[in-house]
Structure 1
Amino acid sequence: MWAHQSGPQDDESHEDKVCDNQEMHGNDTPAPPTPAPHLDPEDYYFDGPNMVFTAAFLLKRGTCCGSGCRHCPYRGTPQDKNAPA
């Protein structure tokens, strides 16, 4: 049931909720935002309007993101999420 129906009992039961899907999330507070990683000059360069991450930065991340990054240090390793299954 995705439609929201309002009524007197509904107003009372939802007044403290962050969102209507709170039961599915299983908690009362939203997840905190993920902080942006700190970028050093050796972590990226620009190729036209595109920011390109270096292998040094991708290694700092610690895992393959599966996006097929140009300088992915995980290519050909068991951590490569782009490898054929």
Structure 2
Amino acid sequence: MHRKPILMYRKLILMHKKLILKYIKAYLKYSKMSLRYTKAYLKFIFNAKIIYFSSIKTVLVYRISENRINQFKTTAELLSKY
């Protein structure tokens, strides 16, 4: 798969950043899971590689292939319903 530069997806990521952070906070609150396991869980949920994840407040940076953008948007839409 051809990988595009991360900056191309910055706008998409910022669009969903608040939603993702809201979801992480809720997930940590109810599951009492550590950040390490949450990172692995997010990899599974968003089907993307998380490059940088140090705390809940940091910006999440994903390396998303072109084919996964629609899947990412769909996942975000699904999460917004909870």
Same fold (TM over 0.5): no
Larger Rg: 1
With the length of structure 1 as denominator, give the TM-score of the two structures. Answer: 0.24
With the length of structure 2 as denominator, give the TM-score of the two structures. Answer: 0.25
Q: Indicate the structure with greater helix content.
A: 2
